Copies of this chain bind each other. A is one copy, B any other.
Amino acid sequence: MKRHQVTIIDIARKLNISKSTVSRALTGHPSVRPETRQSVMDLAESMDYQRNMLAINLSSSQSKTIGIIVPEFVTSFFPIVIMGAQEIAAEAGYSVLICQSNETYETEVVNARVMLANRVDGVLISMTRETKNFAHFEIFKRKGIPMVFFNRVCHEIEAPKVVVDDYEGAFKATEHLIFSGKERIAHLAGPPSLYISRKRLEGYKDALRKHKRPIIDELIISYDLNLENVKIYIKYLLDLPQPPDALFAVNDPTAIEALKVIREHGLKIPEQIAVVGFSNDYGSALIEPGLTTVAQPTRDIGRVSAQLLLDQINTDSSFWKPITRVLKTELIIRGSSQRG
Contacts and interface: CB of A to CB of B under 8 A. Distances in A.
Contact of A96 (B5, B53, B98, B144): B98
A54 B283 contact: no
A256 B285 CA distance: 11
A100 B98 CA distance: 14
B58 A86 contact: no
Chain A, interface size: which category?
Answer: 35 or more
Given A50-B113, A100-B86, A5 B61 contact: yes
Interface stretch (A115-123, A124-132, A189-197, A325-333): A115-123
Interface in A41-82: 48, 50-55, 57-58, 61, 63, 73, 76, 79-80, 82
A240 interface: no
A1 B316 CA distance: 12
Contact of A1 (B57, B118, B144): B144
Contacts of A210: none
A338 B63 CA distance: 55
B83 A73 contact: yes
Interface of A: 1, 3, 5, 48, 50-55, 57-58, 61, 63, 73, 76, 79-80, 82-83, 86, 95-98, 100, 113-114, 116-119, 139, 142-144, 256, 282-283, 286-288, 317
Q: Which 9 pairs between the two chains have the least Cβ-Cβ distance?
A: A288-B288, A79-B79, A286-B287, A50-B116, A283-B283, A54-B58, A54-B57, A73-B83, A53-B117
13 contacts: A5-B143, A48-B142, A52-B117, A53-B118, A57-B58, A76-B76, A76-B79, A76-B282, A95-B118, A96-B97, A98-B98, A256-B286, A282-B283
